[in-house]
Amino acid sequence: MLSFEFLLKKTIIFAVFLTAIIATITYKRYKDSQSRIFMPFLWFTFFIELLNLLPTASLFYPNWNFLKMMSYVLPKELINSSIWVGSLYSIVSFYVYLWYYRSILGSRRSTITVNVCILIYTVLVIHSLIHYRDLMVSWLQPHMFAGVVFTVVAICFYFMAILKSDKILSFYKTLPFWLTIGILFFNLVTMPIFIFAEQLNFSASIYVYILVISSYVMYGCFAIGFIVSVKYNR
């Protein structure tokens, strides 16, 4: 029987799907901005969440059409494990975040710094891909830690740019602000918990609650941002 915590974790897919729908409906309001990358990225995230369901589906819902379709594409080893899915998502997501902040930062110094971060991150990703077997065992790889640190650095540059601009009085009306709040909250709350799991000695259920709440907050911030983009960008 599936536990409550397990089922709760799987509800994240509904938050992703709803946010992707909102991003698609409001797309015309921000399609000419750099934030447009988040619409396809959210649908990619939804696909990733579907892949996360494969191990459970193979045990309890073997006739699920999506499972049958993916069985033609993926080897059984990948169908029965979702760790590689998290690894794939971590690689792509941090590239999206770093590219996004690189594209919206106006300062040349900030842009150069983020470019260096992207370069270092790429080296670490290549290292992880060379040792791809490790990605099948744990998604907590060096590129993941670097991705979090570099994303937070880029976000700090973003906030400093806001403080120095004339948007200081209306920053909460912008889509980048709400995207940033969501990304920052999720990474600052979840990563320390996962990294220092042994030292903190939390139970598995605590991890699930933290992950689910953090995901809801992040996608909630995204959704608010897309709705705000409609209200204030007429």
Tokens read off for 64: 């699920």
The answer to whether the CB of 85 falls within 8 A of the CB of 51 is yes
Q: Which of 21, 18, 23 is nearest to 37 (CA)?
A: 23
Tokens read off for 145: 């830690």
- Which DSSP symbol is given to 167? G
**How far apart, in whole angstroms, are the C-alpha atoms of residue 32 and residue 29?**
8
Tokens read off for 99: 């590219």
- Coil vs helix vs strand at 203: coil
For the segment 40-98, what is each residue's pLDDT rounded down to a tens digit? 999 999 999 998 888 887 877 778 888 888 888 888 877 887 788 888 898 999 999 99
> DSSP readout, 99-111?
HHHHHH---HHHH
| Residue given tokens 């900030």 in the structure block | 110
For the segment 146-186, what is each residue's pLDDT rounded down to a tens digit? 999 999 999 999 999 888 877 766 778 889 999 999 999 99
Chain centroid to CA 154: 15
- CA angle in degrees (0–180, nearest 5) for 190-81-149: 30
